[in-house]
Amino acid sequence: MHKCVSFALCGVLITAFIFFTQAQMSDKAQLGRELFHDPTFKGTIDPSKATGLTCANCHADFDETANPDGVIRAGHSVVGVPHRGEAKGGMIKGADFARAAGGGGFCYEHFLQRVPGDKVNPTAIPAEHAEALMAYFQTISGDNKGPEFEIAMLDDAAKKAAGEKIIAMSGDASKGWQLFGRACVTCHPSAKKAGIGPQLVRSRAPRNVDATMTRWATKIRGGGSLMPFYAPDILSDQDIADIIAFLRDQIENTGK
């Protein structure tokens, strides 16, 4: 009897804690939460420019280490953003950090609106939206500093070298299929279907399959256009080699 009462009391306390936490979220933080999941950014993004992506497609808004959901996102969790002080490998820092929503301003222009990376102004995000996102990040972070990581922005030569290193590795197509499902389907619903990203496997194989595989390995590690880069702590070289093995297998079996 005492155990039943204890379990019931725990349930009530947990429910009360969740309610209290939600109740403590300010209107500004709530707006930030909604913006984080909204591809229209509350209707402020021009429909002709919108990609359909949201912040949530590339970043978790929860502690992935404590509560993993199996999804592999290109970016790290936004838990801990207010504690970082810089973003994009130090490209966004100082007074620009908060004004650019902790780096979110880059994604707002590039990934949500297709602005070329070299023309992005991270502080072009509306000030009220940057403030709302930072308020949300603060609410979900508290004292949690989030994951520890280092971002190394690769130049073209480093991207090429990384792709060539990966393509020389042996991959497991079965593991690659699982990784593709966890990391790639947001933009590529399947290898043979286009989404936000292009169709990867077509009815006719590319003339130079090896060159295509190298280009894809380079793109996964280094990014490019709307393709985000996957850092080594998110997808290892072996992980990418496995994904490439899966895609090669799909190409080689097309039409069979």
Phi-psi region of 102 (alpha: psi -120 to 50; beta: other; left: phi over 0): left
CA distance 39 to 37: 7
Question: Do residues 118 and 181 share a domain?
Answer: no
Domain for residue 14, yes or no? no
pLDDT on residue 6: 47
End-of-domain residue from the set 114, 141, 168? 141
pLDDT on residue 106: 94
CATH number at residue 216: 1.10.760.10
Exposure pattern of 143-159 as b/e (b: 16+ CB <10 Å)? eeebeeeebeebeeeeb
Question: Do residues 112 and 195 share a domain?
Answer: no
Question: Do residues 35 and 86 share a domain?
Answer: yes
pLDDT (tens digit, 0 to 9) for every residue of the chain, 256 residues total? Answer: 444 444 445 444 444 444 444 447 899 999 999 999 999 999 999 999 999 999 999 999 999 999 999 999 999 999 999 999 988 878 899 999 999 999 999 999 999 999 998 899 999 999 999 999 999 999 999 999 988 887 778 899 999 999 999 999 999 999 999 999 999 999 998 888 888 999 999 988 888 999 999 999 999 999 988 899 999 999 999 999 999 999 999 999 875 5
End-of-domain residue from the set 117, 141, 165? 141
Query: What is the residue whose two structure tokens read 């102004």?
Result: 121
> How many domains is the chain built from?
2
Question: Do residues 36 and 67 share a domain?
Answer: yes
Question: Do residues 201 and 241 share a domain?
Answer: yes
pLDDT on residue 74: 95
Question: Do residues 245 and 177 share a domain?
Answer: yes
| Range of the structural domain that residue 133 is part of | 25-141
Question: Do residues 45 and 135 share a domain?
Answer: yes
- Residue 222 tokens, joined: 């280094």
- Residue 77 tokens, joined: 């969790």
Question: Do residues 203 and 238 share a domain?
Answer: yes
Question: Do residues 31 and 110 share a domain?
Answer: yes
Domain for residue 56, yes or no? yes
**Cα-flanking dihedrals φ and ψ of residue 223, to 5°?**
75, 180
Question: Do residues 215 and 188 share a domain?
Answer: yes
Domain for residue 16, yes or no? no
Measured from the Cβ of residue 80, the count of other Cβ atoms closer than 10 Å reads 20
End-of-domain residue from the set 141, 174, 192? 141
